[in-house]
Structure 1
């Protein structure tokens, strides 16, 4: 017979109390085993959303979720290990060129990634646009590829933080996703369980991000940096702008194509800038500050690792990517300069075209998406193409057309937003 009950734990947090370590350990374990019912954990999650958690509570909650499963052992690898996590955005394909780039510079990147939901894309959905590529790897395959190639991008196994997997599904349908302690512990439990030595966080801020304001993003970044540091993982976070999409491509296959362009030494300036900036942070975190990621893009080393990584997971890096059956141009209605391309609206348009999903079990189209022809600061004249909609289902075009057209604003002077807003470390 347990000394605890779900009702007493819920009441403590409902009334603004601080949960004891033993209470947290018990409730997370009991929920994972099915002893605490979904409706009880949903009530506790709502209480946490409304009442918050102390730093100590959040750290213990994270540890309890890590302890609900296994922790990968990456010791003995010939390279230092460093991971990266993005809180999600529109056109955020950075993981694709970043992992092979950092590997080309001497580190190992054990990148466990997820799938898209709503207006934000998922790394695994993008990579599955490559014929033959598979997201699921066994533990031995994972470690072997990490040692041989230096980079792995794959789905997390069910043995890593299973409590988080179960709790996230519940939060998604009970209006409790927005809790900073629960977001931070969800992300960090999986990343810490991976066993990496260092972690760089890309916390998105703006219309296309989960966090809409800098103060909210800073709060989340600090919580995650504190959690990583407390668990012995060298952790740094960058707050980056997500008011406008990254690059020109938003979708699955189209983002793969743009990522390959970056690896070939080209690609959009903002995608290259953020990829190189994050690479430098990752390499510095594992004691390789003299590595030059810009040079590794220019001389083809990063592309070589990309091709090896894709082949190691069954993909054909030379195969053509899926092409959409239907395309439509959105055109400018006025002369001027593009002053805004709203990231959320473009993400929603891509989702409506079939590139995203409303629920995790829904399929996505590899060919659907939006290709921007004009970005913030570009001059336009009436009739110029602003973007191209791509889909396999023409029935999706009317709704996507309306959303995409509203994403663009044409004025006289564009803003000059900074891509990297702020850097958050353990000491500030």
Structure 2
């Protein structure tokens, strides 16, 4: 009788030796072989008393002739079955990939006599380990020269760029693109963590710059547990608003912050920064009129650039805020400070209307982009280079009815 060849599937995402009960029963009962003398499971199996035979080096096994030597091993042992350790599933194919591909083809074809058995099962999220492994390979000796020379500073622009590309995928409602762009954002997280792992000035808790991706993951997991006591503890909440209130209270206690503006990243886009600061100020109870009052410099008068609005300071309405915006815009000498006041008041107006100013401006910019691209396409359709058009032609093509 021809011995059955069982192809045992394992994963580098699971610690060696953590096999299923069926897999352990099998490897203790029948001969076991593989093509790779450095197979990650060898040490664990041999420590448990399982004798594993390396039938051929990866180069020899890659010719696709490993099936018969495996059966010969079983026959010599008087066994009706033999286990072949497939290359573990992981981030990239190893040296025995060719032999494994050949054997897997037999498991799904004819004649019978070859089967697949899952020896391990990945938990949800296990593929994140592949990202860590690939990045480690890229940054290690013999990896990629470009990746190896990157620093936190050199990578900083890419972090913003990838985040913006993911944001655009959200705006475009393109889930396929979003999946890819989130992967690029994740790569930046893993990249920065791997760069930090190479720091030589000591651990981050001791004033240095060294930490690793496990510390990053542990930090966010612990934070999520701490700030969701209604999920992981015994706190009761009435709804989402109370969740937010609790989150802010817990964060304030953790950070020891003295100002509601602490922790607001000043590097974010200006409109986002203004909106964030205004939201924090409103939560702190700052009077509404002070939100749009000019920020005075030394020697300036409160009347400078003051919005000409008769609205009650505690109940500024959308209309009065609009009047404040118009007042700033109508200033006789509109300089940099005046434009800043104008834009800050416009952010407050957006908040009063329940509108995200960043999203509103982005939507307006995208609409402009679409209108411009449409006008250009109209010119191209007529065989005209858009740059060669006169003003009248541009105006004619700018109308939506012209396209």
Considering fraction of residues, name the structure with more helix: 2
Q: Please, what TM-score do these two structures have when normalized by structure 2?
A: 0.19
Larger-gyration structure (1/2): 2
Considering fraction of residues, name the structure with more strand: 1
* Higher relative contact order structure (alpha carbons within 8 Å, sequence separation ≥ 6): 1
Q: Please, what TM-score do these two structures have when normalized by structure 1?
A: 0.18
